Each structure stands twice: as structure tokens, then as C-alpha cells.
């Protein structure tokens, strides 16, 4: 199998080191690999198997316009990571399409995070307040004071943080600080109303389990954010990305975490961006990987492409999206990447910095179910259970989940 993202010479040195250190007395340790698919020839035939390196940390992007297989490919990677040793995937699922990972031993959770996971300076922007306004500065100060009081171990305070041992303030603690302040009534009312908005999202809980618990036991975790407001989802992504980074830096995880973010364009440009940038630029040293999948690569910052050592590009047609891909055209590549983009669903151009090559691959079929297929009018109950000329209900000849009557689990990349 050809392994993308792995320097063969470095892999040999790693295995030799493992043997010399006495970590194994049998055959050399084989680095974990995620099966991705197979090489795709120009005539459409498939060749040797292709995998993605999971032994070392990576920054990767998966591009593709709607319907070309972008989310499907992200699921293939998550599925492979779930079966690999020494790593654990955490998937941000804003569309509710990755629940099939339960079949790979994963869990799907509706995440909550602690208010303290969002820095005080970020709270005004998170809630749509100008940090220099009366309400914005009051909220900033109230969050900072509540956090300081909790860290000081006040009596009857919030329960300790299971990851760091530090207490965590609640939104009620912040509200109390706002009410007790000497700020003008208008500022206090505005800050309180915006804080109630955050409370209505249902994603903040002072007693929430620590972020590192999503990766601590090795169980693949899907963070179900379907239906969660965009700003609330961004707060969760900020907390999770930074929490995994901090936990790995502190040595509290015994596996290398991989954060996989679908619809990643929605999380740049807001409260989540600083944490995602940290993983892109500094995640390699502690061993935290980030995979960003998006149908709008033009909406990602340039750093997302420039810092990625793996690029998986499905079909793109929008000028801005193709231009963002062009930023990845390294000196070792001959010709334009745009001219090499595949046109078929489930086909992808893979750019690999480790071997300084680009390959066209056909992504393998998922072993677990994929929830990202498009609904069809011909498969609705109204079309399937239609009345005949006499008014009697006649069941359609195809099942609602696939045009040919088969289940979605048997479909190829979508």
C-alpha cells in the first residue's frame, strides 16, 4: 500500500528505533495507516491501494463542491482512525451525517462545554457585542471576575474541573457579577439579555465533563451539532480544539488526538478561529492533528492551505475555490492543480508534502453508514405511497433510502 503523508525513510528509522529500544521482540512495529482508496488511472481503472499516515500528526484539508464526496471522504478518514492504534478521532458534525460511526465502536454526543473554556475577551464577540461598548466591556469584566473567583476556590463554588482540578464558573456566576456591578442600568440589561441568549443555546454547563474526556478513553467521538446555532457551535469548536491541544501539551492523553471538522468554513472568521489556527500552526509539536473539510475552500484563510501537509481535493468549479487550491501549488509540482482536478463523484486529487507528489485516487466505500446522501422527491412517502385511480394507496417499487431499493450503506461515495 502506498501511504500518503509518510516519509518512508523516517518510517524505517522509527521502526528500527522501536526494535533497538526493546519495545518489541518480534517483527518491527508497523505504523498505523488509514485506508483511503486506490490509485485512479486516466482510463478510469483502479490500481494499488492508497492509505493515509496516522503515525505522525498532520494538518489536512478536504475540498469539494456539494455532492462530490467531501463529507464521505471525511467519514472514511474517521472510520480508518477509529480502527487504528494509538490515535483517537473527534469529529465535529454540524450536519448530523456521521452517526454511522457508532458501527465502528464510536459514540455520538450532544456536547456541552464549560463557560471558562471561552476566554473572557472572546465573550463580547461571541454574543454579538462590541467589546468597547458598555454592555460588552461589562460582560468581559464579569466573565473574567467570575473565573478569577472560581480559580480562587471560593466556598460553595462550582465543582472542580476533572481535567485540571480548577473550579469552573457558571453562567449564573457571571450573571451575578453583572447584577452586582455599578454599571448603568442599560448596560446591565443589555449584558444580561445577551447572556440569556448564550444560556438558551444549551451548550454551556459549568459541570460539563472536560474536553479531554472526548479523547481520553480512545473511543471515537462524534460531536453532534446539527441544529445548534452557528455561534454556539463555534464556541464548542473553540473549546474542543483548545482543550485537546492543552491536554496533549500537558501529557494527559495517551493517544494522539485527531480533530476532524466538517463544514469548516463556518468556524473560521469567528470565535473558533484562534484555536483552529493554533492547531494548524503549532499542533504538530504536541501531536494534535486537524482535518478541515469544506465545500467552500475560498472561505478558509490562506493559513489553512499553507500549513496543511495533506490536501484532498474533489471537484471544484467556483473561481475563488480553485484560486485557494492554487495556493498549494508547491515548487515540486509540475503544472496546475486546477487542471488535474477530477470530475467524478468519489474521485480526488491528493497532494502530499511528505513525498512531494500529487496523485488521483478513488476513495473507497465506507464500512459504516453515511448520512450525507441527498434526499430525492421520488423517494418521499408522498411519492412512494401514492393513491391509484380508485383512491387506494399503492406502495412504490423503491425503498425511500435508495433509488434502486438498496440501503444507503451499500452506496459508494456521494
Q: What is the structure's pLDDT at 389?
A: 61
Q: What is the structure's pLDDT at 412?
A: 41
Q: What is the structure's pLDDT at 195?
A: 96
**d(Cα 378, Cα 398) in Å, to the nearest integer?**
9
Q: What is the structure's pLDDT at 369?
A: 84
Length of the chain equals: 414
Retrieve residue 379's grid coordinates.
423517494
Q: What is the structure's pLDDT at 27?
A: 57
Consecutive 10-residue averages of pLDDT for the chain (414 residues): 79 48 58 94 87 96 89 95 96 95 94 95 96 96 92 48 63 96 96 96 94 93 96 97 96 96 95 97 96 92 91 88 77 69 88 88 90 65 66 50 37 40
Q: What is the structure's pLDDT at 30?
A: 85
Contacts of 194 (CB under 8 A, 6+ apart): 127, 128, 129, 135, 139
Contacts of 145 (CB under 8 A, 6+ apart): 177
Neighbours of 64 (CB within 10 A): 28
Query: Which among 257, 140, 247, 230 is positioned nearest to 187, based on CA atoms?
Result: 140
Q: What is the structure's pLDDT at 20?
A: 53
Q: Where are the alpha helices (DSSP H) in 250-339?
A: 273-282, 302-306, 319-326
Q: What is the structure's pLDDT at 238?
A: 97
Neighbours of 17 (CB within 10 A): 12
Retrieve residue 332's grid coordinates.
515540486
Q: What is the structure's pLDDT at 333?
A: 65
Q: What is the structure's pLDDT at 185?
A: 96
**d(Cα 178, Cα 193) in Å, to the nearest integer?**
11
Retrieve residue 126's grid coordinates.
461571541
Q: What is the structure's pLDDT at 410?
A: 35
Amino acid at each position: 500500500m502506498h501511504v500518503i503523508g509518510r516519509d518512508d525513510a523516517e518510517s524505517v528509522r522509527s521502526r528500527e528505533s522501536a526494535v533497538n529500544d526493546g519495545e518489541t521482540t518480534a517483527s518491527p512495529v508497523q505504523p498505523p495507516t488509514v485506508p483511503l482508496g486506490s490509485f485512479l488511472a486516466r482510463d478510469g481503472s483502479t490500481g494499488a491501494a492508497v492509505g493515509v499516515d496516522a503515525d505522525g500528526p498532520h494538518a489536512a484539508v478536504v475540498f469539494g463542491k456539494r455532492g462530490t464526496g467531501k463529507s464521505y471522504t471525511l467519514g472514511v478518514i474517521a472510520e480508518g482512525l477509529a480502527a487504528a492504534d494509538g490515535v483517537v478521532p473527534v469529529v465535529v458534525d454540524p450536519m448530523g451525517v456521521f452517526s454511522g460511526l457508532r458501527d465502528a465502536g464510536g459514540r455520538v454526543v450532544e456536547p456541552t462545554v464549560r463557560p471558562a473554556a471561552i476566554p473572557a475577551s472572546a465573550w463580547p464577540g461571541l454574543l454579538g457585542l462590541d467589546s468597547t461598548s458598555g454592555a460588552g466591556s461589562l460582560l468581559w469584566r464579569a466573565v473574567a471576575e467570575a473565573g478569577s473567583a472560581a480559580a480562587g476556590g471560593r466556598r460553595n463554588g462550582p465543582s472542580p474541573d476533572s481535567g485540571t482540578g480548577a473550579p469552573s464558573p457558571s453562567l449564573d456566576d457571571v450573571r451575578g457579577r453583572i447584577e452586582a456591578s455599578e454599571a448603568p442600568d442599560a448596560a446591565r440589561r443589555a449584558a444580561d439579555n445577551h447572556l440569556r441568549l448564550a444560556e438558551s443555546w444549551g451548550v454551556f454547563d459549568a459541570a460539563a465533563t472536560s474536553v479531554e474526556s472526548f479523547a481520553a478513553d480512545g473511543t471515537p467521538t462524534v460531536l453532534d451539532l446539527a441544529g445548534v446555532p452557528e455561534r454556539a457551535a463555534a464556541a464548542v469548536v473553540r473549546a474542543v480544539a483548545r482543550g485537546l491541544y492543552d491536554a496533549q501539551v500537558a501529557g494527559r492523553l495517551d493517544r494522539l488526538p485527531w480533530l476532524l471538522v466538517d463544514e469548516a468554513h463556518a468556524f473560521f472568521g469567528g470565535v473558533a478561529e484562534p484555536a483552529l489556527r493554533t492547531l494548524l500552526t503549532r499542533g504538530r509539536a504536541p501531536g494534535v492533528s486537524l482535518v478541515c473539510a469544506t465545500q467552500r475552500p475560498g472561505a478558509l484563510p490562506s493559513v489553512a492551505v499553507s500549513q496543511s501537509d495533506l490536501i484532498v481535493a474533489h471537484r471544484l468549479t467556483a473561481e475563488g475555490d480553485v484560486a485557494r487550491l492554487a495556493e498549494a501549488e508547491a515548487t515540486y509540482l509540475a503544472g496546475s492543480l486546477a487542471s488535474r482536478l477530477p470530475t467524478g463523484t468519489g474521485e480526488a486529487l491528493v497532494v502530499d508534502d511528505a513525498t512531494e507528489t500529487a496523485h488521483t485516487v478513488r476513495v473507497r466505500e465506507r464500512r459504516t453508514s453515511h448520512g450525507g446522501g441527498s434526499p430525492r422527491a421520488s423517494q418521499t412517502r408522498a411519492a412512494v405511497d401514492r393513491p391509484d385511480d380508485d383512491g387506494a394507496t399503492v406502495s412504490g417499487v423503491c425503498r425511500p433510502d435508495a433509488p434502486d431499493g438498496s440501503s444507503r450503506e451499500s452506496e459508494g461515495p456521494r
